[in-house]
Amino acid sequence: MKITIETDEKNIYTEYLTPKEVSSSSSTTSTEKAESSSDAFSTLLNTAIDSIAASNTTNGSTDTAQMTLSEIFQKAADTYGVDVELLKAVAKQESNFNPNSTSSSGAMGIMQLMPTTAEGLGVTDAYDPYQNIMGGAKLLSNLLSKYNNDTSLALAAYNAGSGNVDKYGGIPPFEETQNYVPKVLGYYAEGVTIPASADITASGSVSASQTAESLKTAINEFSSHESYTLFLKELENEMKVETNTTSTAYESLLSAASRAITNTINNYK
């Protein structure tokens, strides 16, 4: 069977995943055939790993799923020119670094972005730590620019909205905002340490490379040619679904293979 991975631009990779080039003599065992097949798939996965790594290096990108909160805050600070300690101070006051936090008013995530605000900032998933922190940093940067780097006014606007700051010509006379600004400034002055329990990978997910390594381990444990053949059928079905997504070719392969292995394990008795 031939698996072809395609994107909108071009065909990226084609590989035959049948137990090819294995002697048909009676002395060749089913285990040997399966091992030959799994070696072919391992080669395919290694190609995927190398491609993803090379792409990340070339583009200067980072696997955001593997960034700690500390790293995300630093990247956001560098990107939008906001003091990283100020960003962390806001996050501590807003959610105490809880990415799943939702306020009674509907503010979401670590930086507590309101739905309309998140949308305006280009944040598509406000509960994703990377998107949320980058969005909060962008908002705070805009507010600091608007108020000539007056941190108190920027924080007041972050909490109560620019309209209220402009309306009252300063920090609005709302109890929440009156308490909010000095608390954040206090954290900012003291310095904030992200709790060790919170400073984990951004989404708790694994990188594509880690996924591939896990798949290689699983595929090499298939004990028979029959189970491997079942896996190939599952992979073919999953690839038909996966190539309709916006994932890159190699990420599509890894995602489809992961599901195919799970299906094989569940179905092969």
What residues are annotated to the active site?
94
Which residues have a Cβ under 8 Å from the Cβ of 98 and sit 6 or more positions away?
A: 110, 198
How many residues would you count in the chain?
269
Task: Say what angle helices 175-190 and 151-160 make with each other, to 10 degrees.
Answer: 130
Give the containing element (helix H, strand E) for 14. Answer: strand 11-16
Paired with 189 in beta bridges are: none
